[in-house]
Structure 1
Amino acid sequence: MLFNVPNSLTWARIALIPLFVGVFYFPDRWLDVDGKNLAATLIFIVAAVTDWFDGYLARALNQTSAFGAFLDPVADKLMVAAALILLVQLSRVDSIIAVVIIGREITISALREWMARVGESAGVAVAFVGKMKTAAQMTAIPLLLYDAPLLSVNLRVVGEILIYIAAALTLWSMGYYLHRAMPHLVQHDRKVRGKNT
């Protein structure tokens, strides 16, 4: 189903991405730098909250769907990629960090698609290390977007530490998922070679 309550929230999250990026292109007479940072931070937080709500509502309203299962992670990855690219442009995140995180998402998405195709999707189910990576990443990004002290705490420094932790967990989780998938990859190749001989 393309449009139900959870999917509508997911579509709304995708629709927020142009606004999220566009905020930084507003003329300074509309929003100063601090205003742009605050607006982008709030949009990102709203998107993160809708991510939790669409999953909760899909289960509570019994409106889970194959399309929703596809669209939800796509929306998440688009928002995170947009945020990281913006932060690189704003010189708040090193480009290598963005490459590591975005590259991992592409790799694991492709791996999950392949594993689902051969009926082994359970082999790359979300693991605790993946949840830790997501928590660090989703905390770091709004702190780096806000980029101002709060209650005498330098949020940019905290955000930088967390994004490096997220990058390390990203590599760890990618290695974990590839290690879990490797026996299935090898077994599939053997079956294919067996059929061809």
Structure 2
Amino acid sequence: MNIPNRITLSRILLIPIFILLLILPLNWGEWSIGDNTLPVSHFIAALLFIIASATDWIDGHYARKHNLVTNLGKFLDPLADKLLVSAALILLVEIGAAPAWVVIIIISREFAVTGLRLVAAGEGIVLAAGKMGKLKTATQMIAIAALLLHNFPFSFVGFPFATIMLYVALFFTVLSGYDYFAKNIHVMRDSK
């Protein structure tokens, strides 16, 4: 397994730690930020999420720079993104920071695209993420980090950055899903 794939695997391995930080009743205190409070465990979970998200850029950059792009990497990288984002969004619903309907749409798109990837894989085709999918992932990760940080630092000025970013992420999620299926409809049409 090459270095980029190991980095991607590390992102997957960080997910259970991230989940535990948000679901365990950790009483490490909290900070007042504007009109909100930020539990220390949420801050640490947000940092872990940001680190895990950064590995998405690092592994891809390293793989392209050193010509280490593999079919395993093309499969693992989007899977790691989907697992991380899905876990975070579900937990944001659990803690009351994101509306369930938005999360359902985002996760449904992820399942649909994964289904298309599986059909393509059955035909011997590996579908790599496109630019629109990368934009979708970036906006989702920014929105999730902002929600985990309880809108810090924007909460001091009352600007709902985290909420706005969640809806921007929803927009790009739907748009990229449409784009993905439109560009790859031949996979469904030509499947045996």
TM tier, smaller? 0.7 to 0.9
**Normalised by the size of structure 1, how large is the TM-score?**
0.80
Q: For structure 1, which runs of at least 5 residues remain unmatched after alignment?
A: 193-197
**Residue 170 (structure 2) pairs with residue 172 (structure 1):** no
Residue 195 of structure 1: aligned partner:
none
Q: Is the 8 A contact 2:74 2:128 kept in 1?
A: no
Q: CA deviation at 1:176?
A: 2.4
* Structure number with larger C-alpha Rg: 1
Task: Tell me: CA distance 1:184–1:26, structure 2 relative to 1, closer, same or farther (3 Å).
Answer: closer
The amino acid that maps onto 1:168 is F
Deviation at residue 119 of structure 1 after TM alignment:
5.5
Distance 2:95 2:115 in 1: 29
C-alpha separation in 2, matches of 1:148 and 1:103: 25
Q: Please provide the CA RMSD for this pair.
A: 2.4
In structure 2, the CA distance between the partners of 1:66 and 1:178, relative to structure 1 (3 Å rule), is closer
C-alpha distance 148-140 of structure 1, shift in aligned 2 (>3 A) = closer
Shift of 1:129: 3.3
Count, aligned residues: 184
More helix as a share of residues: 1
Higher relative contact order (CA 8 A, sep 6+): 2
Matches within 5 A, 1:123-142: 126-142=129-145
CA 1:133–1:26 in structure 2 vs 1: closer, same or farther (change >3 Å)?
Answer: same
Aligned partners of 1:93, 1:83: CA distance in 2, in Å? 10
Distance, in Å, in 2 between the alignment partners of 1:59 and 1:175 is: 26
1:101 to 2:76 alignment:
no
Give the Cα–Cα distance (whole angstroms) in 2 for the partners of residues 25 and 16 of structure 1.
Answer: 15
Letter matched to residue 3 of structure 2? V
The equivalent residue for 2:56 is 51
State the alpha-carbon separation in 2 of the partners of residues 22 and 184 from structure 1. 39
SS of the counterpart of 2:73?
helix
Distance 1:59 1:173, change over 3 A: closer
Task: Establish whether residue 114 from structure 1 lines up as the match of residue 114 from structure 2.
Answer: no
Letter aligned with residue 18 of structure 1: P
Indicate which of 157, 162, 165 corresponds to 1:162.
165
CA distance in 2: counterparts of 1:116 and 1:78, whole angstroms: 19
Map Cα deviations across residues 169-196 of structure 1 (whole Å, 9 max, x no partner): 222222222233334533x26xx6xxxx
One-letter amino acid of the structure 2 residue matched with residue 173 of structure 1: S
Cα gap change, 1:70/1:179 in structure 2, threshold over 3 Å: closer, same or farther?
A: closer
In terms of fraction of residues, the more strand-rich structure is 2
Between the aligned residues of both structures, percent identity stands at 38
TM norm structure 2: 0.82
